[in-house]
Structure 1
Amino acid sequence: MDILSIIGILVGIGALLLGNLLDGGHIGSLLNGPAFIIVLGGTTGATLLQFPPAVFIRSVKMSLWVFRPEKQNLKGQIAKIVGWSTLARKEGLLGLENVMSAEKDLFTQKGLQLLVDGNEPEVIRDTLEVEMTTSENRDLQAARLFEAMGGYAPTIGIIGAVMGLIHVMENLAEPALLGAGIATAFVATIYGVATANLIFLPVAHKLKLHVLAATLAREMIIEGIIAIAEGENPRNIELKLSGYLHDTNRT
């Protein structure tokens, strides 16, 4: 569980509500159904128009990473790679067949399969890098969906404000209806700017960090498998891969 994500949402929204209360306002003044429908519905509609279904579905699945990110246990992975190297030196590459069948990660399993099949290091690297790049691009596109929502929300909020003012102008002769129109106008702007800067954009950037962390872990796996294919000493492999532990983007 990513506690910072929860704290961030609570602090951000809490600061707005507390500031409103200290300024003499009340929470009820920020609750407006029409403004909510305009901003959320308009933002969602524009986003659906921009992105294909596959990206949208992927973004929904990835949104869970904000609170429950996929852990990248680089230390544990390095230990596994060193173990594979030691086994390969003792029993040959075919000795990794049992390891390959027990590996749950499909990317790692594919790398071990290429290794056991006796492919040249460059062939292994090219094959795995294609898959790594494709996966990274797919997930970055999904993260950009939230970035797009962060761009649309403030603009839709302004549209909601203009619609509210139009409603006000249409009812100048009926003072009782002016309050609702003005409230929708200003609250729609707040909804648009607040959701963009407190939710959509932070979520997009956090997801990008998780995507980069996953790519880093796969880069390390590639380097480890290539080192095994080239017959490097297990100790040297461990020293080489330990450099990945210093990256600040890993989870």
Structure 2
Amino acid sequence: MDFATFFGIIVGFSLIIGAIFIGGAVDTFVNVPGVMIVLGGTMAATSINFPVTDINKAFRAAFYIFAGKSVTANDVVNTMVRIAEISRRDGLLALENIKTENSTLKKACQLIADNTDPETISQTLRIEIVALRNRHAVIQDVFKKMGTYAPSFGMIGTLIGLVQMLTMLDDPASIGPAMAVAILTTFYGALLATLLFLPIAGKLKSRTQQENLHLEIIFQGAQSILENNNPRVVYEKLSSFVPPAERKNERR
């Protein structure tokens, strides 16, 4: 679980809700029509902009940033070193039996076991990296667009509220409360965009960069194993992807 994401969202909403409670007028910040306009409008516009499959993938990816197991670059480096050890001890064919949930790593092991030409491995894994970037770019774009739509629909809700308020100018006492309700939709839109949609898009971008780095390590590791399956050489080459302070060789 990514506790930083969970912590940030919980603390952010808690501080805002706490400030509202301190103000003592909690009920004035609750407006069901405003929520309907902002959330409903944002989802409707997103559905128009993207296929349903892309929206589903985006929300599954958002769930993954909370529930997914965190894998560091150092973990991937050590995994490739262990694969080098297996290939050196048992031969390249032994890599066919490697068990892993990472489909790219599994593909790399299969290609190595088949003694595939290094150029073919290079092209195959490069395609994987490009495909990952393209898939993740769409997912990030879903939340970026939602971060744009939410404040816009907040303004639409405010305009609707202002029109309704102007119809009540003959009752000065109702203008203040009506104005408060009109502004609430802008508040909802800004809150969702600033504390939810855009930060999730940013987190997904960070995850993309991290996974791209992992694929690059796998790519370079596969080439190193084919060229020279000495685990020490493989480690020394791949450890360059990890900051010196974070390097940890499990073989030591």
TM-score surpassing 0.5? yes
Q: Shift in Å at residue 175 of structure 1?
A: 5.8
Aligned residues of 1:59 and 1:143 also touching (Cα < 8 A): yes
Q: What is the deviation of 1:94?
A: 1.9
Q: Report if the CA contact (8 A) 1:128-1:222 is conserved.
A: yes
- 1:168 lines up with 2:165 in the alignment: yes
Deviations 1:178-210 (A, max 9, x none): 566423311001001111101111111011111
Cα distance in 2, alignment partners of residues 14 and 96 from structure 1: 50
2:119 is aligned, of 103, 122, 140, to 122
Q: For residues 58 and 106 of structure 1, do their structure 2 counterparts lie closer, same or farther at Cα, with a shift above 3 Å needed?
A: same
The Cα of 1:163 is off from its aligned counterpart by: 0.3
Code of the residue aligned with 2:68 in structure 1: it is: P
- The within-5 A match list for 1:25-174 is 25-99=24-98, 102-173=99-170
Tell me the distance in 2 between the aligned counterparts of 1:169 and 1:208.
Answer: 44
Deviations 1:200-228 (A, max 9, x none): 11111011111211111111111101111
| Mapped partners of 1:10, 1:110: distance in 2 | 39
The two structures, once aligned, show a CA RMSD in angstroms of: 2.2
Equivalent residue pairs, number: 245
Residue identity matched to 2:162: L
Counterpart-to-counterpart distance in 1, 2:101 and 2:8: 33
Which amino acid in the other structure matches residue 223 of structure 2? I
Larger displacement relative to structure 2 (10-19 or 170-179): 170-179
- Counterpart AA for 1:218: L
C-alpha distance 216-182 of structure 1, shift in aligned 2 (>3 A): same
Q: What is the aligned partner in structure 1 of residue 2 from structure 2?
A: 2
Cα deviation for residue 232 of structure 1 reads 4.7
8 Å Cα contact 2:136-2:208 kept in structure 1 = yes
TM-score by length of 1: 0.88
- Deviations for 1:110-130, whole angstroms, at most 9, x for unmatched residues? 111111122111210111110
Once the two structures are TM-superposed, the CA of residue 55 in structure 1 deviates from its matched residue by 1.3
Q: Which moved more, 1:196-205 or 1:114-123?
A: 114-123
Report the Cα offset of residue 174 of structure 1.
5.1
* 1:216 equivalent in alignment to 2:199: no
Q: Which amino acid aligns with 1:243?
A: S
| Offset, 1:12 | 1.9
Gaps of 5+ in 2: 246-252
Which of 222, 227, 230 is 1:230 aligned to?
227
- Tell me whether 34-43 or 115-124 shows the greater mean CA deviation: 115-124
Gaps of 5+ in 1: none
Task: Tell me by how many angstroms 1:28 deviates.
Answer: 1.0
Q: Percent identity?
A: 33
